[in-house]
Amino acid sequence: MPNYQGVWSLSTQYQNASGWPLPPLAGDIALFGVASNSVPLDAIQISTTGNSVTWGTLGVNHTYGGATGSSTRGVIFGGNSAGQTITYVTTANQGSYGDFGDTVVAQTFYNSNAHASDTRGLFFGPYSDPDSIEYVTIASTGNATNFGNMFANRNYGAGTGSSTRAVIAGGYLPDGGGYSNTMDYVTIASTGNSSDFGDLLNTSGGNSACSSSTRSLFAGGVISGGTRSNTIAYITTASTGNATDFGDLTTNNGNYNDGDWSTSNKTRGLFFNHQNTAADVQYVTIASTGNTSSFGDLTNNSSTTTYGFSLSNSHGGLS
């Protein structure tokens, strides 16, 4: 690290420019990360459109991991390679991350099966224990705590919700039981088992999910026979009942095998398509209905960098 004191000539400034800290990102920020700890995370300002920028790399490989976060901090948990490890990132500060603690259940959590309020992050249905719900206090560090049990045991589900309620939808039933159309919910500030909410439009797993303060969206996923769905469905998060058709994905996102994920601010939902060399981002206005529109492209589009995660500092769970 150079000594930054004193008066520098223009040539000295140029030589040391790479060592200067990056200015913090501003606005509603979404981060998208791939499995490899050697590939940088992508950062996007949700309220605009355009291509992503590089955020920085993590020191942990969260293959098949999941993520959520508060307005200042993201938490990324589990995965085949990371085991029980939880990593935190300071969302606006590029490259700022650290060790948070460990999950209760060892090994694999999957993709978007998480949601958070301003204070608490919840993780649903790890592969090794599809009945489990865990939580952390995001502003602190430490190990996760058991929250309760799932209404219907499954993994590959999609988590989202409001500032008071988390909803988990779809997924794959354990022991070869096929896909699920179940939605269940919990009250974030409490602990206990989840309750039945209603049914998705499709019996599916590996869906993408995002939300505003009042409405939750579930998109894509794999349906019976391995077909990838392009359907987007929505619910009013504070109520209960079956999902309603919203529109379609322009390309078929949501396949847990291909690394497609989603996040949002309170008005706009983003769906990340990261299959093979495709690395596009689509968006919808959550309060309306209709098909997705093009947002831009991700920086990292290698076919080897799938199985990722996403989070934002402005999603529908935050006040």
Listed residue (286, 155, 317, 271) closest to 217, CA to CA: 286
Task: State the pLDDT at residue 257.
Answer: 44
Using DSSP bridges, classify how beta strands 231-236 and 145-149 pair: parallel, antiparallel or unpaired.
Answer: unpaired
> Within a 10 A sphere around the Cβ of 151, how many other Cβ atoms?
18
Q: Which residue type occupies 167?
A: V
Contact 126, 78 (CB under 8 A): yes
pLDDT per position as a tens digit, 51-76: 999 999 888 888 778 899 999 999 99
Place of tokens 């206005």: 285
Task: State the pLDDT at residue 147.
Answer: 97
CA distance 166 to 170: 14
Q: What pTM value is reported for the model?
A: 0.90
**What tokens does 261 get?**
């994920």
Question: What are the residue ranges spanned by the domains of the chain?
Answer: 24-312
C-alpha to C-alpha distances, 233 to 10, 200, 279, 292, 304, nearest whole angstrom: 56, 7, 23, 12, 30
DSSP symbol at 179: B
CATH class of 24-312: mainly beta
CA distance 141 to 58: 17
**What tokens does 246 get?**
């919203």
Taking only Cα atoms into account, the Rg of the chain, rounded to an integer number of angstroms, comes to 19
Listed residue (209, 300, 208) closest to 252, CA to CA: 208
CA distance 182 to 196: 8
pLDDT per position as a tens digit, 204-242: 988 889 999 999 999 988 887 778 888 999 999 999 999
E strand spans, 34-164: 41-45, 53-56, 66-69, 73-77, 85-90, 97-102, 114-116, 120-124, 132-137, 145-149, 158-161
CA distance 119 to 98: 18
Low-confidence ranges of the chain (pLDDT < 50): 1-2, 14-15, 17-18, 253-259, 303-304
